[in-house]
Amino acid sequence: MLTDKYADRIEKIFAKYPDKRSGIMDLLYLAQEEYGWLSEDALREVAGLCGVDPTQAHSIAGFYTMYSEKPKGKYWLQVCTDLPCALRGADTFFTGLCEYLGLGEDGGTTQDGLFTVERVMCLAACDKAPVMQCNFFYHEHLDLDKAIALIKKLRVDAVQEAAPDPSELDDPAGGTE
Ligand code: FES
């Protein structure tokens, strides 16, 4: 439950607005950050906190592309393939990225659950195409080599995050006296 883990953060969100329902977008981001995506349960939870009907939470989540109502990978790669970017090679870039990750031509999520690749409309960085958001951080002036280097780095990061902290192991050396 969000309230168990983020009571202070939720309180601060509500303090910014004249009523609880106005905090719904912030809370949807918080729920997405916590659960990875906005499931029916997550939408209901946020709606309950804001005192609105779950259909209102659902309609907001469905309208904005920065919310996802589908499970997605740990790294959400959104590539703009809108016309100005397409003129600068974004389609070829997108296809190459999908091929490298073993995905079909429409993108999707890798089998290891690490990467979700999607086409999106203008990211307002048309002069820096090809451009891609990775979990909402911009990567601009991309080519396939740069994107592959990023993906390799993110794979290493994911492995390191998943590894146990050596200081928490009972016997880091693994030996016996
Ligand atoms: S058209 Fe791609 S960022 Fe604007």
Does residue 157 sit in the same domain as residue 97?
A: yes
* Structure confidence by residue, pLDDT tens digits, 102-154: 999 999 999 999 999 999 999 999 999 999 999 989 999 999 999 999 999 99
- What is the C-alpha to C-alpha distance for residues 11 and 3, in angstroms, rounded to an integer? 9
> 60, 25 in Cβ contact below 8 A?
yes
Report pLDDT for 176. 45
Nearest CA among 35, 14, 40 for reference residue 25: 14
Residue 28 belongs to a domain: yes
Q: Which of 65, 78, 79, 80 to mutate to test the pocket of ligand 1 (most atoms within 8 A of CB)?
A: 80
Residue 177 belongs to a domain: no
Measured on CA atoms in the order 68, 69, 75, 76, is the torsion positive or negative? negative
Q: Spell out the residues 6+ positions from residue 177 whose beta carbon is closer than 8 angstroms to its own.
A: none
C-alpha 120 – ligand 1 centre gap (Å)? 9
Does residue 109 sit in the same domain as residue 129?
A: yes
Does residue 79 sit in the same domain as residue 132?
A: yes
Q: Is the pTM of this model over 0.85?
A: no
* Percentage of the chain exceeding pLDDT 70: 93
Structural domain that includes position 126: 75-162
* Structure confidence by residue, pLDDT tens digits, 47-71: 999 999 999 999 999 999 889 999 9
